[in-house]
């Protein structure tokens, strides 16, 4: 019994030493346990054809015709899991996309940085160099980040679109104010119409009748 107890104690001690050595090996960088940064964008067990571009690697070529459909052979990156249409796990698949470079995409398929250092009210309107990045779900050829010259979109603390909307609003209000003021006759115009009407009409006095003559009975100008 004593001999068995000694063997058991030595075995426990050996296990502790092995555990310490394995932890030391991991902490020293011998084996990395970090999650790859692209895994934050890669859904698990989804369709491989729907994975973002950062989750796959494709064998692309530039011999395709611009704007035409093209297929490329792709593989998922390490630690990425996906399935096919039959929900079977796969590592390689065929990706269908349109033949075009990333900088040829529509503006809705990428996002660009903005600049508040240039003003949009200058003439001619200024431009600035923006850094644009393609959206995750969009596939294209070439670099997914590219520079592009864009118009300045800020004016006096407001975006160009906001300033344009305010300008249209002010224009509509001023037009409405002018139309309302033109409907009210000015004193000169009212005097002109009064003198013309009462002078040119036969049988009427040269000047318009007073208000008291129209409201007091028995005075001239009032029918009996």
pLDDT tens profile 53-71: 999 999 998 899 999 999 9
Question: What count of Cα atoms within 13 Å lies in the side-chain half-sphere of residue 135?
Answer: 9
Could you read off the pLDDT of 179-201 as tens digits, one per residue? Answer: 666 555 544 444 544 444 444 44
Strand ranges in the chain using DSSP code E only, listed in sequence order: 46-47, 56-58, 69-76, 82-83, 92-98, 110-112, 127-134, 145-151, 154-155, 158-159
Closest residue by Cα to residue 70 from 62, 82, 81: 62
| CA gyration radius, the chain | 42
Q: Tell me the mean pLDDT in the region 7-32.
A: 61
For the question of whether the overall pTM of this predicted structure is more than 0.85, the answer is no
* pLDDT band at residue 105 using 50, 70 and 90 as cut-offs: very high
Distance from chain centroid for Cα 179 = 38
Q: Is the pLDDT of residue 28 over 60?
A: no
Q: What is the DSSP letter of 223?
A: -
Q: Tell me the mean pLDDT in the region 134-151.
A: 94
Instruction: Give 10 or 114, the one with higher predicted confidence.
Output: 114
Q: What is the pLDDT of residue 221?
A: 46
Q: What is the pLDDT of residue 198?
A: 43
189: left (phi over 0), alpha (psi -120 to 50) or beta: alpha
The rounded distance, in Å, linking the Cα atoms of 126 and 110 is: 22
Q: What is the pLDDT of residue 183?
A: 54
């Amino acid at each position: 019994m004593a001999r068995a107890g000694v063997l058991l104690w030595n075995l426990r001690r050996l296990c502790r030493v092995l555990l310490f050595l394995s932890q030391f090996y991991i902490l020293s960088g011998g084996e990395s346990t970090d999650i790859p940064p692209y895994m934050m964008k890669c859904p698990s067990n989804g369709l491989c054809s729907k994975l973002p571009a950062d989750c796959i690697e494709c064998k692309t070529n530039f011999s395709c015709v611009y704007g035409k459909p093209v297929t490329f052979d792709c593989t998922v990156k390490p630690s990425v899991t996906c399935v096919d249409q039959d929900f079977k796990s796969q590592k390689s698949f065929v990706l269908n996309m349109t033949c075009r470079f990333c900088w040829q995409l529509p503006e809705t398929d990428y996002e660009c940085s903005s600049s508040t250092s240039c003003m949009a009210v200058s003439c001619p309107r200024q431009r600035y160099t923006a850094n644009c990045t393609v959206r995750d779900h969009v596939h294209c050829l070439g670099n997914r980040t590219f520079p592009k010259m864009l118009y300045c979109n800020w004016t006096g603390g407001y975006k160009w679109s906001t300033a344009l909307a305010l300008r249209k609003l002010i224009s509509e209000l001023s037009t409405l104010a002018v139309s309302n003021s033109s409907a009210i006759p000015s004193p000169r115009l009212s005097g002109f119409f009064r003198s013309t009407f009462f002078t040119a009409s036969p049988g009427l006095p040269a000047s318009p009748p007073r208000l008291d003559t129209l409201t007091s009975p028995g005075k001239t100008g009032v029918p009996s």
